[in-house]
Every structure is written in structure tokens, then in C-alpha cells.
Amino acid sequence: MAVQTITSVSDGGRLTVSDLVKNPLFIPTKLLEMIDGMFAAEKVFRNAGANPSGVVVYREGDPLFLEQDIQDVAEFGEIPVGNALLGTPRVAFAVKKALGVRVSKEMIDENNIDAVNRQMTALRNTMVRGNDRAFRALAQDPSIPSTAVAAAWDGTGKPRGDVMRAIEAIAAAEPDNLPDSQDDSSLGFEANTLVMHPSMFIALAENTNYVEVYNGNVAGENPMLTGALPANIFGLNVVTTRTWPLDRVLVCEQGTLGFYSDTRALQFTALYPEGGGPNGGPRETWRSDASQKRAMGIDQPKAGMWLTGLTS
């Protein structure tokens, strides 16, 4: 007997709204599956673990090398100990975000599965948008370097050269207050991620300097033919979000630029009646609430670089 995968409340053996109410965990479980992996911050920042207090103390710009260099040590000589340099102390506070959806008695009586599906999809989209907006606001911190490109990408710009210069600038980033004797020291960052608005695809696809390499045996991968952004551009993994600014992209090292830390990981309550009594209480409704309490911070701002002025 073939196994059928259920991906929405309308799949499977004619599930009714009444069935959903009788199984209070169905909607919250499905919502968690629908949202899993969709937050842009979770694709760029690292998970710094839980914080039970709602406050995260961290340091911005900790050098990733010890203050002392490795030493020549003679036989029987004592091995020296190096000291770690510390960045600027910062504090991030966890913020709770929450929203719920309802199932009404009318939806049950009329078996309006479509209305339930639309509410679930709208809740998913709203939660993703809210999280991505918070990520965008944090990423626009002025501590992250930025540079304007010479020409807009939707014109005569040269996207490959601009991105490669950003990658090199990130790789060459140095700690603050570096001694003159260590002018060859860098923070050791390696850019591997490009964050952009999905509509930037149009500018790239129509940019002659970008698509000119799609010839010969890779001509079929031309974005103008495929109609989609590749998962990898200039050797960087692509992360897109519609909350992102339209005129800029962020080049960064994933997992190094910043972090997120949950006091309360994203959760959904089981479907419950809104009031006492039968039929869902005086409002005749059942609801499931989504909530999350998360702190985020930029602790290595030089692991990123904004490219601005990409659209004319």
C-alpha cells in the first residue's frame, strides 16, 4: 500500500475542520513545519544557544587571534601562554513576538477548510516577515562597513567585480588598534553568503556583464532562460528575503557576523477554546497562539560588508 505524504490540512482522507478541532495538535504541528527554516536570520547568524534570563552579554569585535604570536622555544624551555584580546562589551535583550489564529464554529459547521488553510498561510507569512524585518534592522547597524558601487547593477555595473572586492575587503579586515608591527594581521574572515532582495534577480539577469559568462556548455543556466536565481552566485550562498532593501546587498561570513539566542524558541499552543462553556465559549472560537522570545546581535561587524547603490 502506497504511503501518502500529508503537506496541508486538505491532503489525506478528506480531513474536516471538525477533525482539526478534535485533534488540537494538528494545526500547531503543521504551522511549525511550514515555518521551519524560513527565517533569514537563521540562515545567516549562528545559534548561540538558549538564554534563560532574556539578556545576552557579548563582545563586539573580539579578535580571532591571540595577542602574542607563536614563539620559538628551545629544548627544556617554557612554553609561553597567549592572551586573548577582547572587543567592546554589548548587551542584547530578548524580545517576545506573538500572534494567534482562530477557528470559528461557522468554519466547523460549514467545513471551511480553505479558510483554515488561508489563516495558517497568513500566520506563517506574517511571522516570517516580522522576523526578517528585525534581522534587516539589525543588519543595517552602522558598525557593518559599506561601500557604494561605481555603477548600478541595473545599468552598466559590474556585479562580479563589486562582489569580489567586498569579499577581499572582508578577508583583509583587521582588528581595531592594530600595532604597526602586525600590519599583516587580519581577522581571518571568509565571506560565503550573499543576502539580497529576490527582485535583484532582474537586475542581474539583464546585466550584460553578469550573464556574459553563460555561454558554451553552461548557456542553458543563463538566468534569462531559467527564470530563477542560482543557489550560488560568485561562489557565495544566496539568501533572499522580501524585507531586504532594494538597492543593496550584504556580503558576509555566515555564522560569524552575528548570532541569535532564544529565551523561548518559536512555539505554537495546542488549539484551545477561547472561553468557558461549550462550542468554544462565548465567541464560539478556538485558537492557536504562536510566540517566540529571541535576542540577536552583531558581534563581528567586519565579517560583513554592504554594497550600496545597486539600482539607478
**Within a domain: 75:** no
**What is the per-residue pLDDT for 6?**
47
Q: What is the pLDDT of residue 210?
A: 85
Residue 216 has a pLDDT of 75
Q: Reply yes or no on whether the pLDDT at 7 is more than 80.
A: no
Neighbours of 134 (CB within 10 A): 19
Q: Which residues pair with 102 in a beta bridge?
A: 287
* Residue 1 reports pLDDT greater than 50: no
Question: Pairing state of beta strands 272-273 and 285-298?
Answer: antiparallel
- What pLDDT digit, counting tens, does each position of 180-238 carry? 555 667 888 999 999 999 999 888 888 888 888 787 777 777 777 787 777 788 889 99
Specify if 266 maps to a domain.
yes
pLDDT at 178 over 70: no
Q: What is the pLDDT at residue 4?
A: 46
What CATH number is associated with residue 28? 3.90.1690.10
The pairing of strands 88-93 and 55-60 is antiparallel
Least Cα distance to 150 among 135, 161, 137 occurs for 161
Q: Please state the rounded mean pLDDT for residues 145-157.
A: 93
Q: Which residue has the cell 599583516?
A: 184
52 in any annotated domain: yes
Mean pLDDT of 166-174: 94
- For 104-125, letters b (16+ CB in 10 Å) and e give bbebbeeebbebbeebbeebbe
Residues in the chain: 312
- Lowest-confidence region among 78-87, 175-184, 239-248: 175-184
Give tens-digit pLDDT for 207-222: 888 888 787 777 777 7
In which domain, by residue range, is 296 found?
17-63+85-308
Q: Please check the confidence at residue 105 and state whether its pLDDT lies above 60.
A: yes
Share of the chain above pLDDT 90, in %: 60
Q: What is the mean pLDDT of the chain?
A: 88
How are the residues of the chain apportioned to helix, strand and coil, as percentages rounded to the nearest 5?
Answer: 30, 25, 45
Q: Establish if 9 belongs to a structural domain.
A: no
The whole-number average pLDDT for the span 152-175 is 93
User: Is 112 within the bounds of a domain?
Assistant: yes
Instruction: Please determine, for residue 49, whether its predicted confidence score (pLDDT) is greater than 60.
Output: yes
Which of the four pLDDT bands, split at 50, 70 and 90, describes residue 77?
A: confident
Taking the chain, what is the end-to-end CA distance rounded to the nearest angstrom? Answer: 58
208 vs 292, residue with greater confidence: 292
Give the count of domains, the chain.
1
User: Does the pLDDT at position 120 exceed 70?
Assistant: yes
Listed in sequence order, the residues at least 6 apart from 37 whose beta carbon sits closer than 8 Å to its beta carbon are: 43
Please indicate, yes or no, if residue 77 is contained in any of the structural domains: no
pLDDT of residue 154 exceeding 60: yes
Task: Report yes or no on 10 lying in a domain.
Answer: no
The pLDDT value recorded for residue 186 is 80
Q: Which is higher by pLDDT, 63 or 48?
A: 48
Span 155-181, average pLDDT: 86
85 versus 136: the higher-pLDDT residue is: 136
Q: Considering only 25-34, 75-84, 164-173, which range has the smallest mean pLDDT?
A: 75-84
pLDDT of residue 71: 83
89 occurs within a structural domain = yes
pLDDT at res. 166: 97
